Amino acid sequence: MGNTLVKSQLNDVKDFLGRSISILEGFLNETTISQLNLENDEERLYNKLIFSNFRKLIVYSEESFEVCSVILQSTSFQKAAAEKTLYKIYHQCIEEFFSPKNDAWFEDSRAAYTGRNAIKFYRNVPESVVKLVKGLEGEFQRIREELEFYETDYRTKMIQSK
């Protein structure tokens, strides 16, 4: 892929990360577990798990945002570093959103065929949490589709370099 295309994608992903960070931070700054009026300890623990995952996504996204900024601000564009960064973003941010390691929720892979949202929660969650995730999902899916190329391309390059 040419430098211009990779640089353009890096800019797009950086903008996406900035928006996602802002939305997630806004939600977490304005919402507490006690405000959610949860009915029992199970619901409370489950929502804590969800909030924990949101915080993890913010950290991964902020780190990736900073790396994108450094690469884009350098005097000469480092295509290899940009591609490696996009690969890392795919795994740390995008895949963590769709399939969190702490199993806070899961992706219904059949949703793509039905036109519905793919993120499903294991338990009932407050409408504000559902609305947040639904609001983020479309952009995460768009970036996922754009970055899937780096998943296969980067792995191929790593195998060939051995």
- What is the average pLDDT across 100-126? 87
Q: What angle do CA 155, 72, 79 make, to 5 degrees?
A: 35
- Does 1 score more than 90 pLDDT? no
- What is the average pLDDT across 100-129? 88
* All structural domains of the chain with their residue ranges: 3-161
- State the average pLDDT for the chain: 91
Dihedral, 113, 115, 9, 3 alpha carbons, nearest 10: 30
pLDDT at 160: 67
- Phi, psi (rounded to 5 degrees) for 149: -60, -40
Summarised one tens digit per residue, pLDDT across range 2-55 is 789 999 999 999 999 999 999 999 999 999 999 998 989 999 999 999 999 999
pLDDT at 71: 97
